[in-house]
Amino acid sequence: MTRVWEALAALALFAMFAVLVVHWNDLPDRVPSHFDLAGNPDRWTGPYRLWFMPIVGLGLYALLTALPRTQLRFNVPFGLDSRQPDVRREVVGMLVMMKAVIMIGFAWIHIKVVMLAMGLSGSMGPWPMAGT
């Protein structure tokens, strides 16, 4: 299952960059950069600011990929020994799942902002992950 989560994280990261590359020439001079509680844009900036989310996503992806490969001792509860292979496997699995969830969330927000900038959507919606 870890491979599935890893693939989802990589796909979401790729999607953030791909959306910008494919639609770069279609973006207007002003793109939304901040939203009110109802999900409506209330601050605008140039399209170059759209590279921020994919670059931060790439950094987080790299960090969360490198973290399990270090020889650091993981902090686990209940006196479990984090050096045990089964405990380490579970902790690494949770980190990979967390990486996928973060990357999918970043990709959803980023793609939604690009859609808003191009006029393909009206707002982010009242809740970022449940908006339409």
Do the Cβ atoms of 30 and 44 come closer than 8 Å?
yes
Please give the pLDDT value at position 69.
75
Do the Cβ atoms of 109 and 57 come closer than 8 Å?
no
Please give the pLDDT value at position 14.
97
What is the arithmetic mean of pLDDT over 53-63?
Answer: 95
Q: Tell the burial category of 117 from Cβ atoms under 10 Å away from its Cβ (0-12, 13-18, 19+).
A: buried
Strand partners, 31: 45
Percentage of the chain modeled with pLDDT above 70: 83
Alpha carbon distance 72, 32 (integer Å): 40
Confidence check: pLDDT of 65 > 60: yes
Please give the pLDDT value at position 63.
92
pLDDT tens column, 74-132:
666 666 666 677 777 888 888 899 999 999 999 999 999 999 898 887 777 665 544 44
More confident of the two residues 70 and 8: 8
Q: Under 8 Å CB-to-CB from 82, ≥6 apart: which residues?
A: 73, 74, 75, 76, 88, 91
What is the arithmetic mean of pLDDT over 4-21?
Answer: 96
Enumerate the H helices of the chain as residue ranges: 2-23, 52-66, 85-117
